[in-house]
Amino acid sequence: MSEKRIELPAGISVRDLSTKLKVSPIDIIKKLMANGVMASINQMVDFDTSAIVAAEFGWDAVPESADEEEVLESGELPLWRQKIASEKDGDLKSRAPVVTILGHVDHGKTSLLDAIRQTEVAAGEAGGITQHIGAYQVEKEGRLITFLDTPGHAAFTAMRARGAQGADIVVLVVAADDGVMPQTKEAIAHAKAARVPIIVALNKIDRPNANPDRVKQQLAEQELVPDDWGGDTTVVPVSAKQKTGIEDLLTAILLVSDASDIRANPQGKVMGTIIEAQLEKAKGVLATLLVQNGTLKNGDVVVAGTAHGRLKAMFDYRGKPVQKAGPSTPVRVMGMTEVPSAGDVFEVFANEKTARDVVSKRLEVLKEQNISSKMSLEDLFAKFKAGEVKELRLILKADVQGSLEPVMKEVNSLSTGEIAIKVIYAETGNIGENDVMLASASKAIIVGFNVQADVSARRLAEAEGVSIRLYDIIYRLTEDIEKALKGMLQPAFTETVTGKASVLAVFPVSKVGKIAGCRVLEGEIRRNGKVRMYRGTDLVYQGEISSLKHEKDDVREVRHGFECGINLKNFNDVEVGDIIECYTLEKSA
């Protein structure tokens, strides 16, 4: 047994574990990957997992026997909980419980929320799976309950974890005809890591093949012993479809809330959690905030992570304008200068100068913490030649499964006797933050085929020094990898979007084809630039401009606010409303 002894809590984030073990977070993520656990730097892991990792670094881990004050000092509680715990007891008032709905896909999480708030969200979701995190409030016996609607698909595990950490109570939805499934176990782990009470909603109880006793046995095996079996886990039979048992569930939530002593100081330090955020053209940055202490007011200066701004407008969950929001209240706000990350803690500062100073210091810390060296395809050959690297690690993302399989086959066929190509992860969909974290931990390169990288993923890739390369032709993808292996890869190109134009009318011209009559919405359209044309969210053309005219003159560029005629090379399927995006490619330094 190791001589080094360390106390670890029941749940701890990867970042905090790295601090305790005095090693890099990337090294922690590598060890977790080696043990089959995929985790981001902010994700919580349970004691058993953290103990295994600690042992690999020569530590003997034992469970922490800390009281609430010791836990507070060690920083294991979420930041907003630490602030509330530091408030004077006499200033604390009861607040609405914040509840998150977790569980396996198709077990009825969104349908249960529909039954609770009498809306039809599930009917409008693609495939019936929730694609975002929303926040809603309902009233029961004159008291409010705030619900976080977290997604149920495996691809959104990280978002689900954040939902559990921001909640006071977890409602675990389990289908009575299906039982405890892999994602159910994941949800239980997240809830336990966040140290919040769990209420089980036994859904689909109306199904003829429902077997509640079998499900209760499975729950007991996961250390969630039902109260009618002598345990302390409340199990409420419900049917989202028949809308039965809903009142019992809400009553159970209020009872657990009363037992949990959920309080906050409405007059104290204002802080809470970012639930979701995105950039909209007409409105700028829109963010959903969950206030967890203090009272947020319209006009307050807010800092969340490295984003900040003075709030210009606030709306409640129904979309109605509000001037202030107390504890446990979700609000939609406008005024942030950039898009904050979901899960970030926000705080209110006295003025914008102070906010800018705080953000500046955080950016400096992030820069210092950037411990990953950039690994590009261009760098690899030098390392191969020096004998430092014998394996090229790739993360492949493609638009559809039909594209992913042939790309993997082509890439794997490039392996040589001396250098192996290892695809450590391959999946469909756009490149996201989890892909970047995985690449950073494993020193891999992300290769995308017919996909885009999310804005947040690009930002994280820049910070972590991860190379992302995007392709739309398979032979160019394989050619670049082959050249890298042979040391002949040309410098990478950096893409710069110069402008966007909207198609207002389409004019057929003999011997030329169709001319798109456009207005430049932003930047400038350049004759020598490359273009992409979008119809809604679909990319319908990528190529070059054949001709660019302003009135009757051929021009080299047309700037913002002016109208122009654009003829696309070898393409005539232009429609009114299409968006043409112009960009240039420049060799990277």
Asked whether residue 133 falls in the same domain as residue 162, the answer is yes
In a domain, 86, yes or no: no
Asked whether residue 550 falls in the same domain as residue 573, the answer is yes
In a domain, 577, yes or no: yes
CATH number, position 409: 3.40.50.10050
Asked whether residue 112 falls in the same domain as residue 249, the answer is yes
How far is the C-alpha of 132 from the C-alpha of 118, rounded, in Å? 19
Percent of the chain with pLDDT over 90: 21
Helical (H) or strand (E) element with 382: helix 377-385
Asked whether residue 112 falls in the same domain as residue 235, the answer is yes
Asked whether residue 312 falls in the same domain as residue 429, the answer is no
Packing angle of the helix pair 433-442, 25-34 (nearest 10 deg) = 90
DSSP 260: H
pLDDT at residue 68 tops 50 = no
Cβ pair 517, 544 in contact under 8 A: no
Cβ pair 345, 273 in contact under 8 A: yes
Asked whether residue 363 falls in the same domain as residue 390, the answer is no
Residue 414's closest CA among 318, 360, 483?
483
In a domain, 70, yes or no: yes
Mean pLDDT of 156-170: 54
- Which tokens in the block code for residue 464? 């972590």
When computed from its CA atoms, the radius of gyration of the chain, rounded to whole angstroms, is 27
pLDDT at residue 381 tops 80 = no
In a domain, 486, yes or no: yes
In a domain, 84, yes or no: no
Asked whether residue 566 falls in the same domain as residue 500, the answer is yes
Q: State residue 65's pLDDT score.
A: 47
Pairing of strands 563-568, 513-526: antiparallel
Residue for token pair 């104290």? 268
Q: Residue 473, exposed/middle/buried by CB under 10 A (0-12, 13-18, 19+)?
A: exposed
Phi, psi dihedral angles at 561 (to 5 degrees): 95, -15
Phi, psi dihedral angles at 434 (to 5 degrees): -65, -35
Q: State residue 382's pLDDT score.
A: 53
Q: State residue 368's pLDDT score.
A: 57
SS3 call for 479: helix
Q: State residue 238's pLDDT score.
A: 92
Rounded to the nearest 5 percent, the helix, strand and coil shares of the chain are: 30, 35, 35
In a domain, 532, yes or no: yes
Pairing of strands 313-315, 330-334: antiparallel
- Could you tell me the pLDDT band of residue 200, with boundaries at 50, 70 and 90? very high
Asked whether residue 257 falls in the same domain as residue 213, the answer is yes
DSSP 453: B
Q: Return the sign of the alpha-carbon dihedral for residues 570, 573, 575, 579.
A: negative
Q: State residue 25's pLDDT score.
A: 81
Number of folded domains that form the chain: 5
How far is the C-alpha of 401 from the C-alpha of 399, rounded, in Å? 7
Q: Single out the residue in 369, 403, 422 at which a domain terminates.
A: 369
In a domain, 457, yes or no: yes
DSSP 167: -
Helical (H) or strand (E) element with 421: strand 420-428
Q: State residue 75's pLDDT score.
A: 39
Mean pLDDT of 66-94: 53
Residue for token pair 């974290």? 437
pLDDT at residue 78 tops 70 = no
Mean pLDDT of 370-375: 42
Cβ pair 379, 391 in contact under 8 A: no
Cβ pair 291, 80 in contact under 8 A: no
Ranking 16-20, 340-344, 583-587 by mean pLDDT, the lowest is 340-344
In a domain, 124, yes or no: yes
CATH number, position 579: 2.40.30.10
Percent of the chain with pLDDT over 70: 79
Asked whether residue 444 falls in the same domain as residue 575, the answer is no
Asked whether residue 448 falls in the same domain as residue 522, the answer is no
Residue for token pair 């090229």? 392
Q: Mind listing the pLDDT tens digit for each residue in 460-479?
A: 888 777 888 888 888 788 88
Count each helix (H run) and each strand (E run) in the chain, helices first: 17, 33
- Could you tell me the pLDDT band of residue 322, with boundaries at 50, 70 and 90? very high
Q: State residue 563's pLDDT score.
A: 93
Statement: the pTM of the whole predicted model exceeds 0.95: no
Residue 352's closest CA among 366, 367, 339, 335?
335
SS3 call for 356: helix
How far is the C-alpha of 230 from the C-alpha of 233, rounded, in Å? 9
Q: Mind listing the pLDDT tens digit for each residue in 502-537?
A: 999 999 888 788 899 999 999 999 998 899 999 888
Q: Mind listing the pLDDT tens digit for each residue in 30-60?
A: 888 877 777 777 677 777 788 888 888 888 8
Q: Single out the residue in 369, 386, 411 at which a domain terminates.
A: 369
Q: State residue 588's pLDDT score.
A: 62
How far is the C-alpha of 266 from the C-alpha of 326, rounded, in Å? 6
Mean pLDDT of 83-103: 75
- Which tokens in the block code for residue 78? 């979420």
- Could you tell me the pLDDT band of residue 579, with boundaries at 50, 70 and 90? very high
Domain that residue 423 falls in: 377-490
State how far Cα 115 lies from the chain centre.
27
How far is the C-alpha of 353 from the C-alpha of 359, rounded, in Å? 10
Residue 106's closest CA among 203, 185, 13?
203
CATH number, position 207: 3.40.50.300
Q: State residue 71's pLDDT score.
A: 36
Asked whether residue 403 falls in the same domain as residue 426, the answer is yes
- The tally of CA atoms less than 13 A away on the side-chain side of residue 400 is 2
How far is the C-alpha of 519 from the C-alpha of 497, rounded, in Å? 17
Residues paired with 357 in a beta bridge: none
Asked whether residue 106 falls in the same domain as residue 245, the answer is yes
